[in-house]
Amino acid sequence: MANATSEQLDALLLFVCGALTLLVPPGLAFLIGGLGGGARVARAARFALLGVAVVVLLAVAGGYGMLAGAPLVPGVVGRPDPGLADITGMYGLARAGSLIAVCGVGVAVVGVALASRITTRAWIVFCVLWSVLVLFPVGYAVFALDDGWAVAGLGVVDFGGILPIGVAAGGGAAGVVLACGRREHQVEGRRSLPLVAIGGALLWLGWLGLATGSEGALDDFTALIAMNAFLASAGGCLMWLLVDRVLLRRPTVSSGLLGAFAGLVAATPASGVLTLGWSLLLGALAALACATMVDLAARARFGPALTLCVTVSVGGLVGLLYVGLFASGGGMVESGNFDLFIGQGIAGLVVLLYSAAVSALIALGLRFTIGLTRTRGRGGGTGGVASQGVRPGAVGYPSGRDERSPTLDSPETAGSPRPAAPAGRDSDHAARDPRARR
């Protein structure tokens, strides 16, 4: 039996890592959906899977060429490649599958964040438009190594593509959330801690696969990338737990999972150019920044959707800027100049603002055409943080609290008086019921 060639091993790595990456969308749905109530998980999963399916179809129909093909507009976007006709060889197909799975993660982030706010029809249309106008062009800036405006022009270091799947996805979801308004979504239900734990485990495993496959080959850097991502997630988990322990006096399971997620997001662009110690520090700093921003965002009472937007966008920006400071060889600490730091910051800011602006415009267009938002939940509730008994200022909301929200059926309100029925209601019902008269 002949030994496997290096090309075959590289293709195998991309296939395995691509398959692991596909665990991220359901993991996001379970984690973020479970934070808003168990009933939201099914809808979040449906939006995530619909988004992945749409991206796969668009990529095969020509979107992959826009993502990593020959330039159509130099530095901006590639030429569409219907049917992946320009791809040859086993490694080419493996790389295409891996990058398409990565793009599916970006769409899943947006879908899970918007699942409780917009209709399914609006989501499908938005997904198509956002992929063509934002996801593929931003991905081209990172994955087209010889022509992309970010990598080839500014010299940006982004191993795993956090610009399209983190910064752009978080900015796009935030733009739509702001266009919808905080009143136009369902009332949050009781948190489901088992679903949150399952989602966090799937997300952790899947994102480790995404980061490991970012090298695109089985070489000396592959093990370093995997270990750096793992250490960053551990540092983020511990830091978010510490933040909740100090400020809330109670670390929770969701605190640790969100911290690990923040560390993984921050390590995505940086894991190939950092040492192990710098990676551990990166995860801790990213979790601290995300916990602080989530606490501030919780005061706006937009619910778990904004938690996801903040975590992926802030964590991605922290990782990009961290590379500019501590990257081996080119970072400010070793090289003494800020060229890489400035380039990383410009790329992150441009992508964030562009994605948020385009997404908001698409959302407003859908609002006045086919309709955008869902009807309010029963009782006209707004689903805000305060209406569910959660302190808006809690650091890491929704990670700051794992108890069930107080309802009429919960132990927290068991002793409170219930509203009395209107006088004469039973007698009127008996008068209208023939069986009662008999």
Q: Which among 195, 197, 227, 193 has a CA at the least distance from the CA of 211?
A: 227
CB atoms within 10 A of CB 184: 19
DSSP annotation string for 247-298: HHS---HHHHHHHHHHHHHHHTTTTTS--HHHHHHHHHHHHHHHHHHHHHHH
d(CA 62, CA 78): 10
Going by C-beta distance under 8 Å and a sequence separation of 6 or more, which residues neighbour residue 369? none
Low-confidence ranges of the chain (pLDDT < 50): 184, 376-438
Peptide bond before 398: cis, by omega within 30 degrees of 0?
yes
Q: Which domains does the chain have, with CATH numbers?
A: 7-367 (1.10.3430.10)
DSSP annotation string for 319-338: HHHHHHHH-TTTSHHHH---
DSSP annotation string for 1-62: -PPPPHHHHHHHHHHHHHHHHTTHHHHHHHHHHHHT-THHHHHHHHHHHHHHHHHHHHIIII
d(CA 356, CA 138): 13
Q: Please state whether the predicted TM-score (pTM) of the whole model is above 0.75.
A: yes
pLDDT for residue 182: 60
Contact between 185 and 233 under an 8 Å Cβ cutoff? The reply is no
pLDDT for residue 389: 34
